[in-house]
Chains A and B, each alone.
Chain A
């Protein structure tokens, strides 16, 4: 498929053209999967969330107003799908950041430690942090995606950083995180 303007692709989606959905999938597959993976912890759950997000997109695309930022719209749908999944299996996720429940990591080279720490953040804090630190959304965009204030986004990211520093402990060179 020739690269197309996103506005055109969305118009085609509104007409029910599946090739346009494929174009959107190609464009957003990785960021959506990555975000869902960080939110839910397991890739298979992340794939379910992305699948659900596309179905929700198909059902609701007529409500997307041209002029609005599509990535914000799509990520909002994904986040709703993720939050719904988290609610459904609430017992399987940590309600709050809980150091005791995480395995100890002695090596700071162990990148899995960081992934686990991010995964153990409370959902709201994690969503702000993941969108900011991994997907590089701006505060304003994150506020739009999560339907919260920019101040709340900043506070959540700041608290997430603090918690990660707490859990990951001293730096290898003897400094503190």
Chain B
């Protein structure tokens, strides 16, 4: 039968001095400690040097291949100024962009569903103010539509990659605007959804302006 104090010592529950003094009078602990010491001494054999003459050459070859892949990736990015650069830029910032996009989508959906079920009495604008807002909004939308007409030929002249990126972005904004309009159909006087729609319209305006100046 092995003395449990040896386990306690090895598991750090008993300090060395305490154990040594106990082991002097305990044959089981002494035997286990001696056996372990012998095993540890014999392990010296496993520390002998090993010879692997070709190993570095194999590693170096792997690392060179990896370097080539990195270089090619870089060249690929810079050879295509449009989409590749944008993708590289997005990839570099994905740690910020992905959570930001998720938060934005979450807020958008939350707002949308909340506004759909909100009673017309909440967040109401005064009647006169509402009329002014709607007027200004209509003018703003008209101006953006004009801008879009101007931007359309420019978009058609872009390389397919950039064209699809801009198209996707504008479609996403348009669908946001459409959702806002739907929510405003339920409660046209809700100031929050108006602000949300204004933000979408501003984003669309900026995107179109960016597209027009894109070289």
Does A associate with B in a complex? yes
- B-contacting residues of A (Cβ < 8 Å)? 16, 18, 21-22, 25, 29-30, 33-34, 37-38, 43, 46-47, 50-51, 54-55, 58-59, 111, 114-115, 118, 133-134, 151, 154-155, 157-158, 161, 164-165, 168, 171, 175-177
Contact at B70–A16, with CB atoms within 8 Å?
yes
- A-contacting residues of B (Cβ < 8 Å)? 7, 10-12, 31-32, 34-36, 38-40, 42-43, 45-47, 49-50, 52, 55-56, 58-60, 62-64, 66-67, 70
Q: A18-B60, A54-B63, A114-B45 are in contact. Are A158 and B11 (CB under 8 A)?
A: yes
Please pick, from B35, B42, B46, B58, the residue contacting A34 in the complex, using a CB distance under 8 A.
B46
- Minimal beta-carbon separation of A176 from chain B (angstroms): 5
Contacts of A21 in B (CB 8 A): 59-60, 63
Please pick, from B35, B36, B42, B66, the residue contacting A111 in the complex, using a CB distance under 8 A.
B42
24 A-B pairs (CB sep. < 8 Å): A16-B67, A18-B67, A29-B55, A30-B50, A33-B50, A43-B50, A43-B52, A54-B59, A55-B66, A59-B66, A114-B42, A118-B46, A133-B40, A134-B47, A151-B11, A154-B12, A157-B10, A161-B10, A161-B39, A165-B32, A171-B38, A175-B31, A175-B35, A176-B35
Contact at A50–B43, with CB atoms within 8 Å?
no
